[in-house]
């Protein structure tokens, strides 16, 4: 099958809009007509060469769509179903799957080299060269093939744009608060980095009942936007000492600090913002090789905790429907996260807008 896709051939170069060859789904796989794909900074890391990926590649990991066909043995979805695409499909049988942490699936990680769960590819250039698949999703294409376990059914009336965001930024951010840190009502929270994920960390803190939610960023528009989603205070780290200001607001530091930017310096900032016995949750994906200069003594004497958090520590098949229900009840705001819409042909402009720190999420609509 020939489909149009945005292909990354070279780092720091525009994505090429071209026709590629997509093979049909094999056993346990699903052919998806992509409906929407979010523009996420994780993709930008690959475009800029800050994270390694074999080229050529089709990026796009925050997506949704409609099932067009299924491979042998598929039982959880059928043609016509709308689905959220999860970039952490799981095998169901490894240690992590069987102990309730499918987002850390050993099998998915062991074959996470730009191919499907069986180790083979479905995406090829017009000349027959294999194209790397990102996260077994690659939704910067009109159609894609995904593992059945990475397709989470959603009701027909749920907007595909919103479903795409649940596929990454919503689950990652809200999940970091509810599923990883388990923030308690009345707590104080700081969020370092108020992009797509950070905004959802803020929403998660509001949903959890945190009473002090401090947004930290270097852009005033981002901070203003964060207040619309539940931030009670804002700190511009480009104009003042963010750690000192957070400590001043909370009289000693926050109970929970979330790093949602992705960097060593901001990771250290999050740790220093926490009070004695506080918890720093590292959510953002830093460039490969970036390190955080954390003073080890403070962990011992002040009993601080540092937690990693991948994909919101979520169980996608159970937790994504829960987030959809929070949206339906008016508790979780997804509608206003979407600030810009683009066609696939406009994808390079979409990433330029992301890199210029425009507020809200950009979405490719098919």
User: Is 94 among the residues known to form the active site?
Assistant: no
pLDDT at 69 over 60: yes
List phi, psi (to 5°) of 82: -85, 140
From the candidates 105, 151, 168, 309, give the one annotated as an active-site residue: 168
Average pLDDT (15-27) is 97
> Residue 168 burial (CB < 10 Å; 0-12/13-18/19+)?
buried
Tokens, residue 285: 């994906």
- Please give the average per-residue pLDDT across 197-225, as a whole number: 97
* pLDDT(32) > 90: yes
Collect all residues with Cβ–Cβ distance below 8 Å to 360 and sequence separation of at least 6.
196, 225, 336, 337, 338, 339, 340
Is 188 tagged catalytic? no
Q: Is 42 a catalytic residue?
A: yes
Separation of alpha carbons 308 and 212, rounded Å: 22
pTM, two decimals, is 0.95
Tell me what the mean pLDDT of segment 89-106 comes to: 92
Euclidean distance between CA atoms 210 and 203, whole angstroms: 10
pLDDT tens readout for residues 220-254: 999 999 999 999 999 999 999 999 999 999 999 99
Residue 363 burial (10 A CB sphere; 0-12, 13-18, 19+): buried
Instruction: Round the average pLDDT of the chain to a whole number and report it.
Output: 95
- CA-nearest of 79, 101, 97 to 33 is 79
pLDDT at 111: 57
> 173-310, what's its fold?
Rossmann fold (3.40.50)
The ranges assigned to domains in the chain are 2-167+334-365, 173-310
Given the residues 42, 169, 187, 313, select the one marked as catalytic: 42
**2-167+334-365 CATH choice from 3.40.50.1970, 2.120.10.10, 1.10.1740.10, 3.90.180.10:** 3.90.180.10
Task: State the catalytic residue, choosing from 61, 103, 123, 233.
Answer: 61
187 belongs to the catalytic site: no
Q: Where residue 288 falls among pLDDT bands split at 50, 70, 90?
A: confident
Question: In the prediction, which pLDDT does 286 show?
Answer: 85
Task: Give the DSSP letter string of 137-201.
Answer: T--SBSEEEEEGGGEEEE-TTS-HHHHHHHTTHHHHHHHIIIIII-PPTT-EEEEE--SHHHHHH
Which tokens belong to 154? 């959603």
Binning pLDDT at 50, 70 and 90, where does residue 113 land?
Answer: confident
Distance CA 7, CA 24 (A): 19
Task: State the average pLDDT over residues 169-194.
Answer: 98
Under 8 Å between Cβ of 286 and 263: yes
> Measuring CA to CA, how many Å separate 61 from each of 44, 64, 139, 167?
12, 9, 6, 8
Question: Contact, 139 vs 34, CB < 8 A?
Answer: yes
Position 112 pLDDT exceeds 70: no
Catalytic annotation, pick one of 45, 103, 123, 233: 45
Handedness of CA 357, 103, 3, 321 (dihedral sign): negative
pLDDT at 64 over 60: yes
Least confident of 23-27, 133-137, 212-216, 235-239: 133-137
Annotation says 123 is catalytic: no
| Same fold? 2-167+334-365, 173-310 | no
């Amino acid at each position: 099958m020939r489909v149009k896709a945005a292909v990354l051939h070279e780092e720091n170069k525009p994505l090429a809009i071209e026709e590629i060859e997509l093979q049909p789904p094999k056993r346990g796989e699903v052919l998806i007509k992509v409906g929407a794909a979010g523009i996420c900074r994780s993709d930008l890391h690959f475009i800029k060469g800050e994270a390694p990926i074999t080229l050529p590649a089709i990026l796009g990991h925050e997506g949704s769509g409609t099932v067009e066909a299924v491979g042998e043995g598929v039982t959880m979805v059928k043609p016509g179903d709308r689905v959220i695409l999860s970039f952490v499909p799981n095998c169901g049988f490894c240690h992590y799957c069987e102990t309730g942490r499918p987002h850390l699936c050993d099998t998915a990680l062991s074959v996470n080299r730009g191919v499907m769960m069986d180790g083979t590819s479905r995406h090829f250039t017009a000349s027959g060269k294999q194209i790397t698949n990102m996260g077994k999703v690659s939704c910067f294409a009109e159609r894609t093939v995904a593992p059945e376990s990475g397709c989470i059914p959603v009701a027909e009336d749920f907007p595909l744009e919103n479903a795409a965001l649940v596929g990454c930024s919503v689950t990652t951010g809200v999940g970091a608060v509810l599923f990883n840190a388990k923030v308690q009502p009345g707590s104080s929270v700081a969020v370092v980095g108020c992009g797509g994920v950070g905004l959802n960390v803020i929403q998660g803190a509001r949903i959890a009942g945190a009473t002090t939610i401090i947004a930290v960023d270097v852009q005033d528009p981002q901070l203003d936007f964060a207040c619309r989603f539940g931030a009670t205070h804002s700190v511009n780290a480009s104009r003042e000492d963010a750690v000192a200001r957070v400590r001043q607001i909370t009289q000693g530091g926050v109970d929970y600090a979330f790093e949602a930017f992705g960097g060593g310096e901001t990771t250290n900032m999050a740790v220093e913002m926490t009070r004695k016995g506080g918890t720093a949750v590292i959510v953002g994906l830093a460039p490969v090789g970036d390190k955080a200069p954390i003073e080890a003594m403070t962990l011992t004497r002040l009993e601080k905790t540092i937690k990693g958090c991948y994909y919101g520590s979520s169980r996608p098949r159970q937790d994504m429907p829960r987030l959809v229900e929070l949206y339906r009840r008016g508790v979780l705001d997804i509608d206003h996260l979407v600030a810009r819409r683009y066609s696939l042909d406009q994808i390079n402009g979409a990433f330029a807008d992301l890199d210029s720190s425009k507020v809200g999420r950009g979405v490719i609509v098919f």
